[in-house]
């Protein structure tokens, strides 16, 4: 079984959906195809929910009309045969009736509106496959994808339920929704923005797939963030550990948690470009890469907290007290550095910041800064490699560094800087560390 996942731009127009159909039809193996919403749709649905929360119903209804019209254009271009176009039109009309009636009721669960993007894209796509006489079965992610009360995927249940659906219906091609799931209360929920990658990886693990293919709008994982840096280039092969670090620390091409289920089950993940399918892409697998920096990513919205113990030297128990505060508020720590009397750490979830600071104040002086960024260098930093940290720091003589984390894992060096310095830092690191690898550099 191969799991294919296509992102928002890959299903972003009739023309692109046809490209997706050609890609999957080219593969003769059994497959599950996970689709995102048509690009822009989830953003519009978020905006509609925001308007509804602010009681701006007219604005919400205006946006609903606009979104609905964009689908009439898409289906006009997607189907050749009148009866398929008519079926699709009826489907869109009913869907938007449903969305309008949700908008007219008091909000009970805004995730229901958010889920409609993936429900629409998968229905339209599956209907297109039927029109071109390719047999497939649409399976609802809500029948098998679920998260528990801590918002963690219920991997055992997902496996049992999905395999039952597959065993009960023998098809060569299954189509399903990324992103959406049921939560512990059996309500519609989701795996957070960009979550279709996570869906694909969870499905891959559940069916023990041969490979998970993530198809997007770029030739694989680049060595640096192409949104902020020129002269980035795709990486042929990268280890699970390195890819997981990059995803977690901001490489938007992958949802932060999406590598873990694939890694746990040793299922290779291939990143491919829907708009350039002959390009090699990036293969993520269990491999021992050579020592050095493989790629760089950056994550924004970081809060740095520094706690200086009231008791000075030999203050054992201090770190335990600090960690207990974060445990109490279920707030994960990303980076940490310590000295004898102080500890600096970072979090990315501001939800309980006020309470955390208040609690920490009981046993230390606390300072904090918001709007920081973590720059993460992923690679193989085994201690036998010499000069890597020096090379990294040499690139950044012009950038104030607030924290450095090195040695926590063999695969990561993290630097905390101000967000305003991020683009500069990413570019300096690119020039300093990758100049020789940039294909057209002299």
Q: Using CB under 5 A, list all residues that contact Mg ion.
A: 7, 194
Closer of 218 and 305 to ligand ADP (Cβ): 218
**227 belongs to an annotated ligand binding site:** yes
Cβ proximity of 248 and 256 under 8 Å: yes
88-96, 135-143, 190-198, 383-391 -> range binding ligand ASP (CB under 6 A) = 190-198
Q: Which residues lie closer than 8 Å to 5 by C-beta, 6 or more apart?
A: 33, 34, 35, 36, 178, 196, 197, 199, 200, 212, 213, 214, 215
**Contacts to ligand ADP from residues 176-215, by CB under 6 A:** 194
For ligand ASP, which residue of 84, 179, 248, 249 counts as binding (CB under 6 A)? 179
Q: State the nearest-atom distance from the C-beta of 351 to ligand ADP, in Å.
A: 24
Cβ proximity of 82 and 133 under 8 Å: no
For ligand ASP, which residue of 3, 17, 20, 37 counts as binding (CB under 6 A)? 37
The binding track of 271-300 with respect to ligand ADP, each residue x by CB under 6 A or -, is ------------------------x-x---
| 153 makes contact with ligand ASP (CB under 6 A) | no
Q: State the nearest-atom distance from the C-beta of 218 to ligand ADP, in Å.
A: 4
**42 belongs to an annotated ligand binding site:** yes
| 220 makes contact with ligand ASP (CB under 6 A) | no
11-19, 188-196, 360-368, 414-422 -> range binding ligand ASP (CB under 6 A) = 188-196
| 256 makes contact with ligand ASP (CB under 6 A) | no
**6 belongs to an annotated ligand binding site:** yes
**9 belongs to an annotated ligand binding site:** no
**62 belongs to an annotated ligand binding site:** no
**397 belongs to an annotated ligand binding site:** no
| 17 makes contact with ligand ADP (CB under 6 A) | no
Closer of 8 and 364 to ligand ADP (Cβ): 8
**Contacts to ligand ASP from residues 102-141, by CB under 6 A:** 117
Q: Which residue is nearest to ligand ADP (CB)?
A: 7
| 426 makes contact with ligand ADP (CB under 6 A) | no
Q: State the nearest-atom distance from the C-beta of 171 to Mg ion, in Å.
A: 26
For ligand ASP, which residue of 9, 10, 16, 42 counts as binding (CB under 6 A)? 42
**216 belongs to an annotated ligand binding site:** yes
For ligand ADP, which residue of 48, 251, 305, 413 counts as binding (CB under 6 A)? 251
Binding site for ligand ASP (CB under 6 A): 7-8, 36-37, 42, 117, 178-179, 193-196
Binding site for ligand ADP (CB under 6 A): 7-10, 36, 194, 216-218, 221-222, 225-227, 251-253, 295, 297
From the annotation, which residues make up the binding site? 5-8, 42, 118, 216-217, 227
From the annotation, which residues make up the binding site for ATP? 5-8, 216-217, 227
């Amino acid at each position: 079984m191969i799991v294919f996942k296509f992102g928002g731009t890959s299903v972003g127009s009739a023309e692109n959906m046809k490209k997706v159909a050609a890609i999957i039809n080219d593969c003769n193996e059994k497959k599950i195809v996970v689709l995102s919403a048509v690009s822009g749709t989830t953003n519009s649905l978020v905006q509609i929910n925001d308007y509804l929360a602010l009681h701006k119903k007219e604005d919400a209804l205006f946006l609903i009309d606009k979104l609905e019209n964009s689908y009439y254009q898409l289906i006009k271009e997607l189907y050749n045969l009148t009866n398929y176009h008519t079926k699709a039109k009826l489907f869109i009309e009913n869907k938007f009736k449903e969305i309008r009636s949700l908008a007219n009721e008091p909000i009970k669960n805004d995730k229901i509106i958010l889920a409609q993007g993936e429900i629409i894209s998968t229905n339209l796509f599956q209907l297109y496959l039927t029109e071109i006489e390719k047999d497939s079965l649409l399976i609802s992610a809500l029948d098998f994808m679920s998260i528990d009360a801590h918002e963690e995927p219920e991997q055992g249940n997902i496996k049992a339920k999905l395999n039952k659906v597959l065993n009960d219906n023998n098809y060569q091609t299954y189509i399903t929704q990324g992103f959406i799931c049921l939560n512990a209360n059996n309500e519609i929920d989701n795996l957070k923005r960009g979550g279709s990658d996570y869906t694909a990886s969870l499905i891959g693990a559940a069916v023990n797939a041969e490979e998970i293919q993530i198809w997007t709008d770029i030739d694989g994982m680049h060595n640096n963030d192409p949104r902020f840096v020129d002269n980035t280039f795709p990486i042929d092969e990268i280890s699970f550990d390195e890819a997981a670090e990059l995803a977690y620390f901001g490489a938007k091409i992958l949802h932060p948690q999406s590598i873990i289920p694939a890694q746990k089950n040793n299922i290779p993940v291939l990143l491919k470009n829907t708009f350039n399918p002959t390009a090699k892409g990036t293969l993520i697998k269990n491999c021992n890469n050579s020592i050095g920096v493989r790629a760089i990513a950056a994550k924004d919205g970081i809060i740095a907290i520094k706690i200086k113990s009231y008791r000075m030297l030999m203050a054992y128990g201090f770190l335990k007290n600090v960690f207990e505060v974060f445990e109490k508020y279920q707030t994960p720590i990303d980076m940490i550095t310590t000295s004898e009397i102080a500890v600096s750490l970072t979090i990315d979830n501001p939800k309980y910041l006020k309470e955390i600071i208040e609690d920490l104040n009981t046993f230390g002086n606390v300072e904090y800064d918001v709007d920081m960024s973590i720059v993460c260098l992923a690679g193989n930093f085994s201690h036998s490699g010499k000069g890597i940290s020096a090379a990294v720091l040499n690139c950044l003589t012009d950038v104030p560094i607030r924290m450095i984390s090195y040695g926590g894992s063999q695969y990561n060096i993290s630097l905390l800087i101000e967000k305003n310095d991020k683009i500069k830092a990413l570019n300096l690191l690119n020039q300093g560390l990758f100049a020789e690898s940039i294909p057209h550099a002299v």
